[in-house]
Structure 1
Amino acid sequence: MSTQVRSVSLAFAVLRALAARPGGATLSEVARAVELSPSSTLNLLRTLVAEGAVERIEEARRYRLVPEWSATGPGPNRLAQLIERMRGPARAFAEVHECTVGLWQATSPNRIVLAALWDSGAATRIHMVIGQRQPIGGGSSGRALAALERIGESELRRRFDDVRWHQPLAFSAYVDQVRQCGERGYAIDDGFSHSGICSVAVAIGGSASLRLCLSVSTFAGTRDPEQLAQLGRELIELARLPAFRQTSEQKV
């Protein structure tokens, strides 16, 4: 695994936070959004200002993306467009497989957020809410994202330790699960992150600013290992559809 450059990840987290606030944000608002101290956030903002990606509104003491980055950077419009394209095939997948399909976005170095949700409409289904958060290392999505990013062991350990596991899980087993995801393309969490819930996830690559994972969630014990593997393979095919392809972005 390669070593992730944490400062770059943090800079993109700041850019995403500002993209979600077209009118700008104060230092404290950005710090809360990216879960960093004000001093660390200020250093990142000053660097982004110097690089021409962010501007400071002196009279309001706020920061915002410069117009060029607002138009082509990691803004909410790109994510909204992607979700709209996904809607039809994702809902159909949920109905055919009687599962809940979710799109997760990494919004900070520590958390992922449920950005979109499609369920089968069954009377009994897993309750999830758009906007809910979980530790970035948790669930099948956490494993899939770690495999895509090829992070080093120290960062993997940090993410693992940040999760409150509902079943005992050794770090060595977690590392092996991330490795397996890198080999086969999908990750599985069978009740470790949420009791009674089994999830399968694939990462959606193609963008450094929109870090996304597509997951399906079912009740634990309703599918055997081969059925879960088949679900993972079909989820990979779903994520390869043109509707799920991320658009190109401005390079830093």
Structure 2
Amino acid sequence: MQANRIGGGVTVKPVVNTVGILRHLAQTGTPERAADLARHLAINPSTCFNILRTLVAEDVVDFNPVTKMYSAGLGLARLAAQLVTQGQRMEHAKPFMQDLAARFHVTITLWRRMGPDRIVLVSSEASPTDLRIDMATGQRLPILMGASGRLFAEQLSDKESDIREAFDQMRWMRPLSFDAYMREVGRAKRRGWATDDGHFANGILSVAAPVREASGAIGFTISAVMIRGHHDDAGVEALGEALRETGEQLSQILF
């Protein structure tokens, strides 16, 4: 497999070729033969044919056995529609986040699980009138990190030893023991929301609640981020309950 490093990232040539084929077929809207695609996109003919055959098997490219031509398939349109739909759903979630940010004077973030061991920040809304804590979308964290991690921990594994193995690889700003962490995981499970009191970042308190799929699995978390001491215990409790309720509402929107 050929890979090139460009601008600090890694590009994999077969993936680049695949994207090029899909982009070309989608933009032109006209069927083409494999040889013509290979020549137009400067791809090795054998490589181009194998990619096209795979794309046909995956139902994102259609093949006409009579004309021997390839065209963008219905599966590609469905995939694009799903992406648009997900974007629309995220837009519908924003007013809920903005309301919480304004009511509690905090930054509200939405995290999505990405694979078995990471979460990614997909949306952020800051309080319009108070001190802002800006967080860049696309930021990735280990799945056990922060308040969200206390929620994801419940579905990471049935074995505490597996959770401990992942926990031991973490680097906390303010360290805590595994036993203390698991107590917080248990507490989060009982009340429906979790906190991280300065362990992820010095001086920062975060509170998070789950956004569950129909199966009950946590697909997202909605989290509030603030300076420690911004809310007293009663305020944090009220915020946690508001996040829990909003998480339940977002479950109907995002899934």
**Which of the pair has more CA radius of gyration?**
2
Normalised to the residue count of structure 2, the TM-score between the two structures is 0.66
What corresponds to 1:136 in structure 2? 143
5+ residue gaps, structure 2, are 1-13, 17-47, 61-73
Cα distance 1:90–1:69, how it changes in 2: closer, same or farther (>3 A)? Answer: farther
Question: Which structure carries more strand by proportion?
Answer: 2
Report the secondary structure of 1:221's partner residue.
coil
Shift of residue 134, structure 1, vs aligned partner: 1.1
Cα distance 1:170–1:202, how it changes in 2: closer, same or farther (>3 A)? Answer: same
What corresponds to 1:216 in structure 2? 224
Report the secondary structure of 2:123's partner residue.
strand
Shift of residue 146, structure 1, vs aligned partner: 1.9
Q: For the residues of structure 2 that align with 1:150 and 1:190, how far apart are their CA atoms? A: 24
Task: Check whether the contact 1:206–1:246 (CA below 8 A) recurs between aligned residues.
Answer: no
Cα distance 1:210–1:198, how it changes in 2: closer, same or farther (>3 A)? Answer: closer
Report the secondary structure of 2:236's partner residue.
helix
RMSD of Structure 2 on Structure 1 (CA):
3.3
Task: Check whether the contact 2:110–2:124 (CA below 8 A) recurs between aligned residues.
Answer: yes
Shift of residue 189, structure 1, vs aligned partner: 0.2
Alignment of 1:172 with 2:179, yes or no, is yes
**1:1-252 counterparts in 2 under 5 A?**
25=15, 58-59=50-51, 66-67=59-60, 71=78, 76-122=83-129, 124-147=131-154, 151-206=158-213, 211-241=219-249, 243-246=250-253
Q: For the residues of structure 2 that align with 1:159 and 1:113, how far apart are their CA atoms? A: 17
Shift of residue 237, structure 1, vs aligned partner: 1.3
Q: For the residues of structure 1 that align with 2:254 and 2:128, how far apart are their CA atoms? A: 30
Identity of aligned residues (%): 29
Cα distance 1:238–1:247, how it changes in 2: closer, same or farther (>3 A)? Answer: closer
Cα distance 1:227–1:154, how it changes in 2: closer, same or farther (>3 A)? Answer: same
Whichever residue aligns with residue 189 of structure 2, its letter is: G
Q: For the residues of structure 2 that align with 1:179 and 1:65, how far apart are their CA atoms? A: 42
5+ residue gaps, structure 1, are 1-23, 27-55
Deviations 1:99-123 (CA, angstroms, capped at 9, x unpaired): 1111101112221110011111235
Q: For the residues of structure 1 that align with 2:193 and 2:183, how far apart are their CA atoms? A: 13
Task: Check whether the contact 2:86–2:254 (CA below 8 A) recurs between aligned residues.
Answer: no
Deviations 1:60-103 (CA, angstroms, capped at 9, x unpaired): 79779645876379x54453232111111211110111011111
Task: Check whether the contact 1:82–1:244 (CA below 8 A) recurs between aligned residues.
Answer: no
The one of the two structures with greater contact order (alpha-carbon pairs below 8 A, sep at least 6) is 1
Q: For the residues of structure 1 that align with 2:128 and 2:254, how far apart are their CA atoms? A: 30
Whichever residue aligns with residue 226 of structure 2, its letter is: T
Task: Check whether the contact 2:213–2:251 (CA below 8 A) recurs between aligned residues.
Answer: no
Q: For the residues of structure 2 that align with 1:57 and 1:211, how far apart are their CA atoms? A: 37
Report the secondary structure of 2:102's partner residue.
helix
Task: Check whether the contact 2:210–2:218 (CA below 8 A) recurs between aligned residues.
Answer: no
What corresponds to 2:20 in structure 1? none
Normalised to the residue count of structure 1, the TM-score between the two structures is 0.67
